[in-house]
Amino acid sequence: MSDSETPSVSGYGEGTTDTVLSVDAVADEAQALGLEVSGDKVLQLAGERPLVQIQGLTAGYGRMEILHEVDLAVGSGQSLCLVGPNGAGKSTILHSIFGFTDIFGGSIKVDGIEVTKSSPSERLRDAGIAYILQDNSVFPDMSVEENLLMGGYLLPNPNLAKEAAERVFERYDRLAQRRTDKAGVLSGGERRLLEISRALIMDPKVLLVDEPSIGLEPRYIDMVFEILGDLKDRDGKTIIMVEQNAKKGLACADVGYVLVSGRVAMADQGPALLENPDVGRLFLGG
């Protein structure tokens, strides 16, 4: 395909659409490079004992297979960032870990316990996996506090959700000041903080975060990465994130994967991946 025929795609990292190859071109090049990641490499990056371990996962929607034999491992208290072209299956990996996809093969274990066949509610309540939606998911006509309490709908007793909400307010003064305001009037950054906080009500071990920086002004992007970094460093949360802003996402990730056409094409420590010239050329427009 000549340059003039290259379809316009959204940019990765700070690359512009002029410098980034088309999705198909990236997939072709990645395939030509023969990129394949061994299960050993995946395990080695996760450290001694992986908290979330995916082996040979083949999954999709209905009968459509999107992920092919994906291996993934992340250690307790680590962050893993998935990058790759649009449609590569990044969100589908998060969906699979939370139980939103049809699984055709392979296994997903959390803390050594298999959850491959569990429902999303079971994964949240029993395995401590929380999913933070990519889309704007606050209820605009409900107050900040009511939105937070929604995060505790699976708790056996509403008082537990109230206590958890108080802990959130103690931690994030920004939200405490807005607790009775309708969520619809919050700024983009505050709304993202509310979405993250709502997931914290269940005190999950694993946070699945899809594109935390999407649609945010730069100052809020830094705030969101700081909040996630703090949840990892201070609270030992394990974070699996998809990030379109590959430079920001990989720079602070313990582990980074490049996903291409439903397969893990590269895996390394986040900053090392950023410095890999193939990653730069194919995914960062540089």
Ligand X SMILES: Nc1ncnc2c1ncn2[C@@H]1O[C@H](COP(=O)(O)OP(=O)(O)OP(=O)(O)O)[C@@H](O)[C@H]1O
The only residue of 53, 55, 79, 91 in contact with Mg ion, by rule CB under 5 A = 91
Q: What is the DSSP string of 222-242?
A: HHHHHHHHHHHHHH--EEEEE
For the segment 131-150, give every residue that binds Mg ion (CB under 5 A): none
Q: How far is the CB of 159 from ligand X (least distance, A)?
A: 36
Q: Which helix (H) or strand (E) holds 141?
A: none
Of 102, 125, 122, residue with least CA distance to 205: 125
**10 Å Cβ neighbour count for 155?**
18
Residue closer to ligand X by CB (options 61, 153) is: 61
Stretch that binds Mg ion, among 91-99, 115-123, 194-202, 254-262 (CB under 5 A): 91-99
Residue 104's binding partner among ligand X, Mg ion, none (Cβ under 5 to 8 angstroms by kind) is none
As measured in angstroms, the least distance from the Cβ of 226 to Mg ion is 23
**Least CB distance from residue 211 to ligand X, whole Å?**
7
Between residue 77 and residue 96, which ones bind ligand X under the rule CB under 6 A? 84, 86-92
Smallest separation, CB 215 to ligand X (Å): 13
**245 belongs to the binding site for Mg ion (CB under 5 A):** no
The contacts found for 183-190 with CB under 8 angstroms, 24 or more apart, are: 183/138, 183/139, 183/140, 183/141, 183/142, 183/143, 183/144, 183/147, 184/138, 184/140, 184/141, 186/138, 186/144, 187/220, 188/215, 188/216, 188/217, 188/220, 189/216, 189/217, 189/219, 189/220, 189/223, 189/224
Residues in 14-73 at the binding interface with ligand X, rule: CB under 6 A: 61, 66
Sites of contact with Mg ion (CB under 5 A): 91
Sites of contact with ligand X (CB under 6 A): 61, 66, 84, 86-92
